[in-house]
Structures are given as structure tokens and as C-alpha cells.
């Protein structure tokens, strides 16, 4: 997968698969899979660091995780998320952040929102760095939204998202993540853009899908928003394995003779 393949996939009507990845060992596993794209999302602030929102991700944090993922997944297309306010502090700091993510191993950067930052986006693209947009529920604006809520439910909001989608395409973005919008809006945006859309909670008409790895693996059994499908019972599997190991240690069943040095 490279930047040109995204457009080709949309033209060919072939969906793009993307999943988040934040660390070396899961990157090693994902590198062996068929997945098209890895997203080092700023959701790592929540999933890996336990914060209550993505607002806590920093450029250093993102670059550290991108580098770990690149070491584990040398063959995959890696998307690096520009963290909270990193494109809102002027061109210099924005370009420093882009440089940090690209030098850490990203193939492109992803930027949430459109208003007030289209020029920065265009400048990054002109500088030779591919940019993926992100509209709908943009989690860095969670405080402004009053929570993690579906966006674009009424006609005015839907029209605004559609207009913003056209603007990020105009700014040079090569793809667009659409998060938590009604399926019909996901379809409209996808049909009206030339660039591919990648949805999360945006219905089945987008040109691809993205999920948080830990969510789709069921690492938090209780986390099951409407758009999420659990592909494994990860929380149960890990807890059972660790309990099994614990019992073996307590009972003296581990290690066995075959697991000892002579
Ligand atoms: O940070 C992230 O994981 C994301 C996805 C939810 C699209 O941006």
C-alpha cells in the first residue's frame, strides 16, 4: 500500500482496511496480516496511557509510538495522528510536529477538523507530506461537542460536514476519515468526493473502515458502542491465560522438566 493505492482502491471499488496500532509487539503481529493500513491514532492517550480523552496526546508521545510501530511493521503504510492543537499554534510548530512524525516513520499525517486550518493542511501537502483528513466526531474537540456524540444528525450539521469534506479535499488531502455520522451522510460524502473515505461508525458506504485494535479484539468486554464489532474476546482470553499461569505456578505445575535447563 502506498499513497497512490488509496485513489486506485476507490476507483476500483475495493474497500480499504485500517486498524490502530500503537506499539512494537502488536505491529509485529499486524505486519504479518492482510490489513492495508496502520493508524497510530492519538486514541493511544486513552488506550495505552489511560487518559480520559485524546486531548492528552503530545507530539513526543505520538512520535515515540510511531517509531515503535515502524520498527514492528516495516512493510505497512503507517498513518501518524497530529495531536491536540498541534496544527493550531502557527506554521512553524505545525511543521515541527509533522517533521517529528515523518522522521519517526509515518507515511503521512492525519489532521482532525477543517475550519481555520485549511491553509496549514495545504502547506503540509505542498511540502511533500500526504495528509489524511478527519471529520464528523473529531475526538480532540470532545469538550466542544459536549461528549462523544454522533455528528451531522440534522440537516444543517450534515451540510456543514459535507462542505468541510469538500474543503479538505480541495486543500489536498488524499483520504478522509469520517467518524460517527449517520450512514446516509457517510454515503453522501463518499459519493461526492473524489478521494476515498474511511469510516468508523459512518455506515457501509465509505471506501474503507477503521477500528481501534483493542476495541475490535474485545480487550474491554464492556465497551460495545453500536458501530463496534468484537472479533475476539481479548479481555477474557488474556485474563484466562494469566490465571492459568498463576495456578500452574502456585500448584508447582510450571515449569515442567522440559522447561528446565539440565
Ligand atoms: O485516534 C484514533 O484512533 C482515530 C480513529 C478513531 C479514527 O483517529
pLDDT of residue 234: 98
Residue 111 CB–ligand 1 contact under 6 Å? no
Atom of ligand 1 lying closest to residue 112 CA: 8
Same domain, 44 and 110: yes
Q: Which residues are catalytic?
A: 179
CATH number of the domain residue 99 falls in: 3.20.20.60
Closest C-alpha residue for ligand 1 atom 2 = 41
User: What's the confidence (pLDDT) of residue 117?
Assistant: 95
Count of the separate structural domains present in the chain:
2
Per-residue DSSP letter, 227: T
Residues 57 and 187 placed together within one structural domain of the fold: yes
User: What pLDDT is stored for residue 126 in this prediction?
Assistant: 98
Q: What is the pLDDT of residues 39-70, one digit of tens each?
A: 999 999 999 999 999 999 999 999 999 999 99
Residues near 17 by beta carbon (within 8 Å), at least 6 away in sequence: 34, 35, 36, 37, 208, 209, 210
Task: Please check whether residues 240 and 152 belong to one and the same domain.
Answer: no
CA of 211 to the centre of ligand 1 (A): 8
C-alpha span between 78 and 179 (Å, rounded):
19
Q: Where in the sequence is the domain holding 252, given as residue range(s)?
A: 234-262
State whether 211 and 246 are in the same domain.
no
If asked whether residues 37 and 165 sit together in one domain, one would say yes
**Do 103 and 174 reside in the same domain of the chain?**
yes
Q: What pLDDT is stored for residue 258 in this prediction?
A: 97
Measured in Å, residue 44 CA sits from the centre of ligand 1 at 9
Beta strands in the chain (DSSP E): 16-20, 37-40, 77-81, 108-112, 131-136, 175-179, 197-200, 208-211
**What's residue 188's pLDDT?**
98
Same domain, 197 and 245: no
| pLDDT score for 64 | 98
Low-confidence ranges of the chain (pLDDT < 70): none
- Both 239 and 188 in one domain: the answer is no
C-alpha 108 – ligand 1 centre gap (Å): 14
Amino acid at each position: 500500500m502506498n499513497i497512490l493505492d488509496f485513489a486506485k482502491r476507490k476507483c476500483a471499488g475495493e474497500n480499504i482496511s485500517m486498524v490502530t496500532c500503537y506499539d512494537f509487539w502488536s505491529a509485529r503481529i499486524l505486519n504479518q496480516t492482510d490489513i492495508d493500513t496502520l493508524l497510530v491514532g492519538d486514541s493511544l492517550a486513552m488506550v495505552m496511557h489511560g487518559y480520559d480523552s485524546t486531548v492528552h496526546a503530545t507530539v513526543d508521545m505520538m512520535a515515540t509510538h510511531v517509531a515503535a510501530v515502524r520498527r514492528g511493521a516495516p512493510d505497512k503504510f503507517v498513518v501518524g495522528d497530529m495531536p491536540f492543537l498541534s496544527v493550531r499554534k502557527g506554521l512553524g510548530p505545525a511543521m515541527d510536529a509533522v517533521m517529528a512524525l515523518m522522521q519517526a516513520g509515518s507515511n503521512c499525517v492525519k489532521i482532525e477538523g477543517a475550519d481555520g486550518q485549511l491553509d496549514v493542511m495545504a502547506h503540509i501537502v505542498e511540502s511533500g507530506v500526504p495528509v489524511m483528513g478527519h471529520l464528523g466526531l473529531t475526538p480532540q474537540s470532545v469538550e466542544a461537542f459536549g461528549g462523544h456524540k454522533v455528528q451531522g444528525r440534522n440537516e444543517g450539521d450534515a451540510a456543514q460536514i459535507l462542505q468541510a469534506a469538500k474543503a479538505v479535499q480541495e486543500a489536498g488531502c488524499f483520504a478522509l476519515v469520517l467518524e460517527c455520522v449517520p450512514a446516509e451522510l457517510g454515503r453522501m460524502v463518499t459519493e461526492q468526493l473524489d478521494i476515498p473515505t474511511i469510516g468508523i461508525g459512518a455506515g457501509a458506504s465509505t471506501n474503507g473502515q477503521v477500528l481501534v485494535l483493542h476495541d475490535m479484539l474485545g480487550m474491554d468486554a464492556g465497551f460495545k458502542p453500536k458501530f463496534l464489532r468484537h472479533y475476539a474476546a481479548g479481555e477474557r482470553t488474556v485474563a484466562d491465560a494469566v490465571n492459568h499461569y498463576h495456578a500452574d505456578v502456585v500448584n508447582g505445575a510450571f515449569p515442567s522438566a522440559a522447561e528446565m535447563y539440565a
